[in-house]
Structure 1
């Protein structure tokens, strides 16, 4: 069975993260579509999602922001606030198949400004 290019890229990045991952850190996975962005913090040892934030949520959707880069900043701030409540500061940044550019870069920089380490 031949895998698509995006599937191979996703596996390659995830396997690199698993090699260097330590049990004291969690994985931050990002999904970006043409209009929305979502992220979740995952505990790979227990295979559960600890936190999630998305631009589809009602309070973010009702805001007046139409710019997609502003949406990614708002979602990153919300996720960082939730993580600080659960005392999560160290994570691994799993960008998936996306380049570290544009909205993904804005998302990561906003998380760093709000106290996340990766």
Structure 2
């Protein structure tokens, strides 16, 4: 029986999370994408804490106009700046079951441009 789109996404998400875990030295950059918004968090899984977060709903990013991909790139730059303020240089990228394409790719490239290393 064929998997639905959401079942496939959750299967990929579980497979990614099995091998990638955030530590204090290299936390996990988790991306959640809804139909209209995009969210990013830098997470230390060992402590169970979010070290930095940014989303397209933040007040400073809500003013950014453009396509969804351009807004995602701005979120990537914002999360990289917040992570650098917290002293984080390297992260493990967790695309959350989404394909590395479109808004997820734009967020990753924005974070790389701002100096975050994956």
Normalising TM by the smaller chain, what interval?
A: 0.7 to 0.9
Instruction: Give the structure-1-normalised TM-score.
Output: 0.87
Q: Which residue number corresponds to residue 14 of structure 1?
A: 17
CA RMSD of aligned residues (A): 1.5
Sort the Cα spacing of 1:101 and 1:108 in 2 relative to 1 into closer, same or farther, 3 A.
same
| Cα distance in 2 between the residues matched to 1:6 and 1:79 | 24
Instruction: Give the structure-2-normalised TM-score.
Output: 0.87
Q: How does 1:102-117 map to 2 (within 5 A)?
A: 102-117=102-117
| Cα distance in 2 between the residues matched to 1:81 and 1:23 | 18
| Cα distance in 2 between the residues matched to 1:45 and 1:6 | 24
Q: Deviations over 1:35-60 (max 9, x none)?
A: 11010000011011111000011221
Q: Which residue number corresponds to residue 43 of structure 2?
A: 42
Specify every segment of 5 or more residues in structure 2 that has no aligned partner in the other structure, as ranges: 1-6
